[in-house]
Amino acid sequence: ASGTAGGADRQSDKKAEDEAQGQPPPRGEPPRVEEEDSPTDLRARLKESEDRRILLEAMLKEKIEETARYQSDLKDSERMVEKLKSAGTGTGGTDNNTVNACPPPSSPNPSSPFPQSSTPASTKRGVQTPAATTRGVADSLAASLADAEADSKTGMKKHDKIVHNYSILLHALPQVVLEALFGNSLKSGIGDLRQRVVKRDSEFSAVVHWKLMYDTKVSYELLLSVEVSHEVHEGQKIVKISLTTVAEDEIDVNVEPFEQTTDKMVTLEVKKGEIVLAPEKHGQTCMTMRAEVAFGVETSRAATTKTAQSTMVSSLALLSRGASSGKITTMASEKPVKKVTKSKFRSGLSDAGDAFGLLCTALYNRFKQEDEIDRRILKDFSDNMETAPPLSDGEIALIKSLTTLSRKVDENGKRLPGTVKDPVEKFLFWPKGSSSAIAKSVAKIDISAKELFAYLWVQNTHKQKRRHLQKHDNLPRAVWENLDGTRSLQITSTKLFPKGLTNRYFEMWYTWEARTLKDGRKEFIIAHSPMDSYLVMGGKTYHNLNGVDKYVKGSSKAAWVVMELTDSTCEWKRVQQVDVRISLPKQIMDMMTRFQLNWANRLQEEHRRNGREVDKETHLALAEVMRRRRGVPLTSKQEELFKRCMQLGEGSESGEGWNEIKSKSKDIYMSMTYLPPQKGERSVATGRAEGVMDCSAEKAAAYFFDYCSRQRMRKSQEKKDPPRLVVEDNAALNEATVATVKNFPFPLKDREFIANQAWKADEDGVTIAFESIDLDVDYGVSLNTVRGRSRALYRIENLPGRGQVKQCHCTLYQYADAAGFIPTSVVNLKLPESLGVVQEAIDAFRQDDKVDEVDRAEVAALMREKHDEQEYSEEELAILERAHHHFEDMKEEDYEHIESSDVFVKIDMVMKEGGMVGVGRAVTVIDATAEDCAGWEWAKMTREKMRIHHRDGGLERKVVKLDDHSEIYHVVYDLGVPGFQPREWLTNVVWKKQDDGSLIIAYEDVEHEDFPKQSNKYVRASSLAFWRFEELSPRGGVPQTKVSYFQQADPKGLIPKFLVNSKIVYALNHLSDMRKKFDKSLEVDQARRAELVPKIEQLRVGEGAGAVEAQFLELFAERKGSEEIKSALNSAKSRMKIEKASSSTWGQTSLQVRAELEEVAAALWHHDSRMNYEISCDVERKVEADSDGINSEGYFEASVERRQKLESKHFAYHRDRIFKSKVQMH
């Protein structure tokens, strides 16, 4: 009978919707013709009305019987409410069967600000109905059906004293909700509330005019007298709002009607209404509404006759779903609310419940911030974990038993095939005689252990609800917390199964425990088992969820372990066995298990952060462990491991027997030797690599020890290597077993390396031992590989830091044999590649700029503070004097300008009389002090200089310090021309601060015993250079220095002199590198603009402004035939037209700039600013402007001369073009 009534309900509701939308009736029913009713039609309609009356009575009977069935559940729920209230806890929301966080009092007294407390029954759409009020509303509606039919003759129907109750949890504070109700218009996805205050009697009393609309179908209007009061209820301050309809003639103010925008307008009369706003946890508000409403539909007789009966049917159909008199909760999906409301409007329903349901939905959507509420709920749980009840004996037994389950799969589980490269490790174990497997997944998640634990434990969040709705079609699900006063909870959840299979439901008992490991890290365990276990272990409470009896009951038991790795990363191990009570082939069960384990992948992706940042956090945490465990004794097994690996470095201090290997990098030194092989090893060379890293020894050791870091895994994937994994994190924190497979070219087999690694720390640094072991590793598939052997020792020692940069020295000794039939000579050729891990670590911790800054700062401080303490020899003074006269005695007019690649660096050249090689000069202004600039040039062995040196073909570079102001500089460059030997320069370099405050540096050829000529290897070249640094006035607080660089270099040999002179620009670009290093163009330009803006603000409209504006408009008027062109900026719109007759081009660009008008004008007016120089194609630019800004005629004026170099794609020669312009700003 229930199924029949439900089906009839849906059919009648669907039919009413079709009629309201003008759709044809279902097959079998004659179509309706809109014409004047005949007596036959009237009799047919009366018969149809009688049939529907019988149907409605059957539905009412079903509803009353359903209410009786829920009474027992209601009592249990009310007891749970009282427990939650007494414990002072709340969930922040409700699920379909979860106790509400803001439960109203149990008294149905209408004068109470809260409606009756009840736990509604689960429904398919997740809408909740207070069963205690259902019959009263149903009786009222049934009693009004006769009146509705009678009223169809007059075109008006009325419902008297229909009581409507709503309760909803809003994501805002009460005051914010109050302002939304009686303030500005409130809009939402399915509703539009428009309101205005017609009359305000006092701060807490007013007359308001509301209009609630839905699309163009129906609108509701209410003229209400509102009284706001503040009360204290059960220790909480609440806002109480009374609503009563007033007639327009009862107030002395004209009520302006709202614009009619809907097909129907329903006027509502609230005889007795009340809204209560009560504060809830996590910044929410529980809003309850109670109203006795009468209403009418203003429409024509024909329209009423056509829709009255369908309206009545739809009203009762919605009532049976629990919508007309319902309790809308935050945990209920808003989707069903929208759908029900739509069906009500489309069917032509004119029920007051529409208006108040629409209001609730609009308010919820207005303040909806489910993710933020979830965050607060999880944080609240995390902050109050310590206050949880102690574990009961049953909970302890459950956790212990499921920990045993975890050990079973650890010992016997097999890796799932094809998952060895999966970022989540997945294993499976089929217990003997069991119909279900035990699955295990291990994943590293990029959030803290505490956050992940709260995320997994708290089951009543909006996100959990949405996920269940999307994945399981809103099948029944409920959560009951604090079972019998413990920390346990019950979750009953229904899972959607594929078509053809019955859905399964699971009744599970959850509990948790927090532990502290020996090393101080936190570990959290979540265990769950079927609720039968809870009752067996002494539990007394058990909750039934209505609607699940028609499904098959499954069972699940699991242990989830969340272990802290760092403050913001953790490892999640999930071991679970699920029995779905079905007999399927093992292959299908494995596939279902694999799908289930993908949850860890989704969770990992959801919280994934930047891999480099995660590695940094991991290494910091491990480095801290190493510092804390300095001097901790090793186990006997570890002592033996270090003893064997230490043999690799024996005798290395003397260097005897070690031969240098050519290294691809200048950062590391490589060498090799042959040591006696151990048992089972071949006579393969042992390699050594040394380098300095910009970090502490502990950080470097953590980098090497973290075998499967994000960066190293990424590089392994780029090489398309098969697996790389940590087989086992041993119980000892300083030990791990790792495995990797290296790709080898066909026809060779891939090589597999399995090794044990351990570390020990002391005051000097950290030592890591690494040695191959014999162990079978489960890769999930059979790999046809050859087992290689490797032994390594890392010695990492702390060095004195450079400023704030810590440094350490790393030495790696490594023996690596690919084994098989590969000759040892071939293996030795690959030794530099295997030692390259040291270079990777150097690059990972590189801080070149900071180290170089320290070196330059030391030199600059010496020049600034101790220049007067320097004592110069006669030869040093002579070097300075000769260089000064050689270069600065040149006449300015003799210099010939040469085009520079840097528009801010001016380059010239002159040929001295009788000379074969020209003298080059480069001049620029640098945004730094003279000492900083001179220090940059003097510090020749900085990392930046070495990088530039190698970029430009440098082979050798060395400095021998003579004293604080003098040094020998040796450098070798490869000319890059086949048949030409590299060139070698050896110079004496001296610096001195002059009496006028300038600094000079001179270079002159010299002979030195440490650098004898090597004619068979290099050609000794000649060079003379001179630098002058002169400080200028600061610009916008930025120091300025004019730098002049002179050079005359002769590479000797048979190189033609014209070719040498043509390369002078390349050598002088060294000054451009200095300029770019200290460039502060943004600060300089900004300071200049700031000075000009006040002057621009003084501009006034002067005489002749109209003519200027007309000229401007004429110039920028769009030309006929112009075309839109692609601009370098996506936000800019550009047009262009080529005037063929005049060989000129007209163009226009417009865009929006995020700056003030005057600031943009200042930026454009400074034609010689660095910004304008960089974005133009000008080779040279001269600007003549009135320094006072505004001229006597009241505007800005300047003359600009620009020289541009024209280039041809067809290799044609063009002369430079000079453009002279008069520029004005009005």
Please state the rounded mean pLDDT for residues 833-855.
92
- What CA–CA distance (Å, rounded) separates 652 from 813? 10
Give the residue, 1102 or 475, on which the prediction is more confident.
Answer: 475
Find all residues with CB under 8 Å of 634, minimum gap 6, and list them.
642, 734, 758, 760
- Token pair in block for residue 1117: 């008027």
Quote the mean pLDDT of the chain.
Answer: 79
Query: In terms of DSSP H, where are the helices of 1098-1212?
Result: 1105-1116, 1157-1165, 1170-1175
- What CA–CA distance (Å, rounded) separates 491 from 512? 14
- For the stretch 700-712, pLDDT in tens is 999 999 989 988 8
Give the residue, 720 or 68, on which the prediction is more confident.
Answer: 720
**Closest C-alpha among 870, 579, 626 to residue 733:** 626
The whole-number pLDDT of residue 894 equals 85
- Burial of 396-431, coded b for 16+ CB within 10 Å and e otherwise, reads ebbbeebeebbeebeeebebbeebbebebbbbbbbe
Other CB atoms within 10 A of residue 119 CB: 27
Left if phi > 0, otherwise alpha if psi is -120 to 50, otherwise beta: which for 239? beta
Cβ–Cβ under 8 Å, residues 102 and 113: no
Cβ–Cβ under 8 Å, residues 264 and 350: yes
**Closest C-alpha among 768, 949, 964, 756 to residue 859:** 964
State which of 422-431, 1050-1059, 1112-1121, 1213-1222 shows the largest mean pLDDT: 422-431
The whole-number pLDDT of residue 329 equals 30
Give the residue, 1225 or 127, on which the prediction is more confident.
Answer: 1225
Instruction: Give yes or no for residue 1002 having a pLDDT over 90.
Output: yes
- What CA–CA distance (Å, rounded) separates 530 from 649? 59
Beta bridge partners of 349: none
- For the stretch 368-394, pLDDT in tens is 999 999 999 999 999 999 999 999 999
Instruction: Give yes or no for residue 1099 having a pLDDT over 60.
Output: yes
The whole-number pLDDT of residue 43 equals 55
Q: Which helix (H) or strand (E) covers residue 52, if one does?
A: helix 39-87
- For the stretch 28-83, pLDDT in tens is 333 333 344 455 555 555 555 555 565 556 556 655 655 554 454 455 445 444 54
Rounded to 5 degrees, what angle do the CA atoms 666, 672, 674 make? 175
The whole-number pLDDT of residue 489 equals 95
The whole-number pLDDT of residue 1214 equals 65
Does the pTM exceed 0.75?
A: no
- For the stretch 1119-1132, pLDDT in tens is 888 888 887 777 88
Task: Please name the amino acid found at residue 703.
Answer: Y
- What CA–CA distance (Å, rounded) separates 221 from 211? 5
Report, in angstroms and rounded to the nearest whole number, the Rg of the chain calculated over CA atoms.
Answer: 43
Task: Please name the amino acid found at residue 1126.
Answer: K
The whole-number pLDDT of residue 42 equals 55
Find all residues with CB under 8 Å of 532, minimum gap 6, and list them.
none
Instruction: Give yes or no for residue 124 having a pLDDT over 70.
Output: no
**Closest C-alpha among 555, 553, 557 to residue 504:** 553
- Burial of 478-496, coded b for 16+ CB within 10 Å and e otherwise, reads bbbbbbeebbbbbbbbbbe
- What CA–CA distance (Å, rounded) separates 531 from 509? 5
- What CA–CA distance (Å, rounded) separates 1087 from 1084? 5
- What CA–CA distance (Å, rounded) separates 59 from 81? 31
- For the stretch 151-204, pLDDT in tens is 333 333 334 456 667 788 999 999 888 888 876 555 544 456 777 888 888 878
- For the stretch 225-284, pLDDT in tens is 999 998 887 788 899 999 998 888 888 888 888 777 777 777 888 888 899 999 999 999
The whole-number pLDDT of residue 383 equals 92
Q: How far is CA 297 from CA 154, 157, 271, 340, 348, in A?
A: 11, 7, 17, 20, 10
The pLDDT confidence band at residue 499, using thresholds 50, 70 and 90, is confident
- For the stretch 624-648, pLDDT in tens is 999 988 888 899 999 999 999 998 8
